[in-house]
């Protein structure tokens, strides 16, 4: 029961019960020099109607995708979410559920996770998928640790065309484990295959690429796999799930582990989270997987049921045998992806991918034709592309906001050598009118 003391008498009684002289005693552990001094400038009490209006006014200051046309991607994507996704997620049996600790009585939750795993396997072309990866970055880091454990080697080779924040998370994961991370440069927006071949050696546990990569460019997925296999290393691919409606699944060009960010599958951007990492692998690596795996079985009455087949985290087995400490439950986000993929089906996911591809190429062609702009790379791309500009990218984005446009990502933040470049993203929700408006405004701002 929550109790908020509302009068001086109530507050005095509360302090007496807990053995404190005054409210200041509750903050005794906080040094006085860092405590707030003075009175908080808070408005007076409001009615519910007044408060709703006030909060709506504050929210309107945000440049949300409800009112702005967004051409920003780089890991978080503005896709259309069918209404049925929110309807299913809002059901109390899913919305209020957490981790299935007493798993076998949580048949609905287990079946939802099982269906999610099955869909991820179909999408990636892999044998088995798990559940409850935090996001794409941690899924990639966990894949690297799987490779380290499977091979007994100490070096991770990763392309610089992989999302820079994914690479930073990976380095954080391995920073105190005596492991090394070697980065391979890109050439014209895709991984330099010659440099990759030279980087991979006898101590390489895994080779990691992203396809499509951070620049949106489509990699030659087969070549890195051949390099990894020649060195008896694991081949890890970070994939964009929507792109798999068109592109060859990584399982078909030799990937041992496929990871990625599942936010695009029915999950809103939500200011950056919570997101959904997916991880799938070949059957021989299944006991190296983190998270949980739900399996289907038959009970003693011959009826189909679901069980937690594997749950190799520290809370469930001896610490030294745990594959990972990753444990928070992402089942609600996974359910959103499950409903989304089920509603679209094979034809639907292909159609969404085609719309992304076509609209992005239309936008890139129009922007690159403007004076002061040019295509950053010649490599084929999916729904993100790099544009070079003579105008300062940061200043350009600020001015675009005046036209209710959220511009692309300035690449200089992560790649100093591309300080005059922007990474634009175009998904199926962007209309031709919005794209043409962006092109017109860019043309005017570049003059």
DSSP string, 364-396: HHHHHTSTTEEES--S-BSSEEEEEESS-HHHH
All domains in the chain, ordered by first residue: 69-81+345-445 (3.90.1150.10), 83-340 (3.40.640.10)
Report which of residues 89 and 292 the model is more confident about.
Answer: 89
Taking the C-alpha atoms of residue 276 and residue 336, their distance in angstroms, rounded to an integer, is 10
Residue 1: what pLDDT?
40
Taking the C-alpha atoms of residue 75 and residue 140, their distance in angstroms, rounded to an integer, is 13
Decide if pLDDT at 328 tops 80. Answer: no
Please check whether residue 136 is in contact with residue 148, taking contact to mean a CB–CB distance below 8 angstroms: no
Please check whether residue 193 is in contact with residue 220, taking contact to mean a CB–CB distance below 8 angstroms: yes
Return the structure tokens found at 75. 């890991």
Picking from 167, 244, 168, the residue whose alpha carbon sits closest to that of residue 211 is 244
The alpha carbon of residue 93 and the mean position of all alpha carbons in its chain are separated, in whole angstroms, by 25
Please check whether residue 208 is in contact with residue 181, taking contact to mean a CB–CB distance below 8 angstroms: no
Taking the C-alpha atoms of residue 45 and residue 150, their distance in angstroms, rounded to an integer, is 60
Picking from 258, 254, 211, the residue whose alpha carbon sits closest to that of residue 230 is 254
Taking the C-alpha atoms of residue 31 and residue 24, their distance in angstroms, rounded to an integer, is 12
Report which of residues 301 and 1 the model is more confident about.
Answer: 301
Taking the C-alpha atoms of residue 357 and residue 182, their distance in angstroms, rounded to an integer, is 32
Instruction: Name the residue with tokens 């962006």.
Output: 438
Residue 10: what pLDDT?
83
DSSP 74: T
Decide if pLDDT at 60 tops 80. Answer: yes
Does residue 112 sit in helix, strand or coil? helix
Decide if pLDDT at 82 tops 70. Answer: yes
Give the lowest-confidence range in 14-18, 83-87, 154-158, 319-323. 319-323
Does residue 297 sit in helix, strand or coil? strand
Give residue-wise pLDDT tens across range 405-436: 999 999 999 999 999 999 999 999 999 999 99
Taking the C-alpha atoms of residue 67 and residue 276, their distance in angstroms, rounded to an integer, is 25
Give the lowest-confidence range in 87-96, 275-284, 397-406. 87-96
Number of H helices, E strands in the chain: 12, 17
């Amino acid at each position: 029961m929550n109790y908020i003391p509302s009068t001086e008498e109530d507050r005095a009684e509360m302090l007496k019960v807990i053995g404190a002289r005054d409210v200041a005693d509750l903050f005794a552990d906080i040094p006085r020099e860092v405590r707030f001094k003075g009175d908080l400038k808070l408005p007076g009490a409001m009615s519910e109607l007044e408060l709703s209006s006030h909060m709506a006014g504050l929210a309107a200051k945000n440049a949300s995708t409800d009112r702005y046309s967004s051409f920003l991607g780089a890991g978080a994507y503005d896709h259309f979410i069918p209404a049925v996704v929110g309807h299913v997620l809002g059901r109390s049996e899913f919305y209020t559920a957490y981790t299935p600790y007493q798993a076998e009585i949580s048949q609905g939750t287990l079946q939802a996770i099982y269906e999610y795993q099955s869909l991820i396997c179909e999408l990636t072309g892999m044998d088995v998928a798990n559940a409850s990866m935090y996001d794409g970055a941690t899924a990639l880091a966990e894949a690297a640790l799987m490779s380290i454990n499977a091979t007994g080697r100490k070096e991770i080779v990763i392309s610089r065309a992989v999302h820079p924040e994914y690479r930073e998370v990976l380095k954080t994961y391995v920073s105190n484990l005596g492991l090394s991370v070697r980065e391979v440069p890109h050439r014209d927006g895709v991984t330099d295959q010659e440099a990759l071949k030279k980087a991979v050696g006898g101590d390489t546990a895994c080779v990691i690429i992203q396809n499509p990569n951070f620049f949106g460019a489509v990699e030659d997925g087969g070549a890195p796999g051949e390099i990894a296999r020649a060195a008896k290393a694991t081949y890890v691919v970070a994939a964009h799930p929507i792109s798999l409606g068109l592109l060859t699944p990584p399982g078909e060009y030799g990937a041992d582990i496929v990871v990625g960010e599942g936010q695009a599958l029915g999950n809103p951007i939500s200011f950056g989270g919570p997101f959904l990492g997916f991880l799938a692998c070949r059957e021989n690596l299944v006991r190296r997987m983190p998270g949980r795996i739900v399996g289907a079985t038959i009970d003693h009455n011959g009826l189909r049921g679901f069980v937690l087949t594997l749950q190799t985290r520290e809370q469930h087995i001896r610490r030294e045998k745990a594959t990972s400490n990753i444990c928070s439950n992402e089942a609600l986000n996974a359910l959103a992806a499950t409903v989304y993929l089920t509603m679209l089906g094979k034809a639907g996911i292909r159609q969404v991918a085609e719309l992304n591809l076509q609209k992005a190429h239309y936008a890139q062609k129009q922007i690159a034709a403007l004076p002061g702009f040019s295509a950053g790379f010649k490599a084929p791309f999916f729904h993100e592309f790099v544009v070079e500009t003579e105008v300062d990218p940061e200043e350009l984005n600020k001015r675009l906001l005046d036209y209710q446009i959220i511009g692309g990502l300035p690449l200089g933040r992560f790649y100093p050598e591309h300080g005059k470049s922007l990474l634009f993203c175009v998904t199926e929700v962007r209309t031709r009118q919005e794209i043409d408006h962006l092109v017109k405004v860019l043309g005017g701002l570049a003059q």
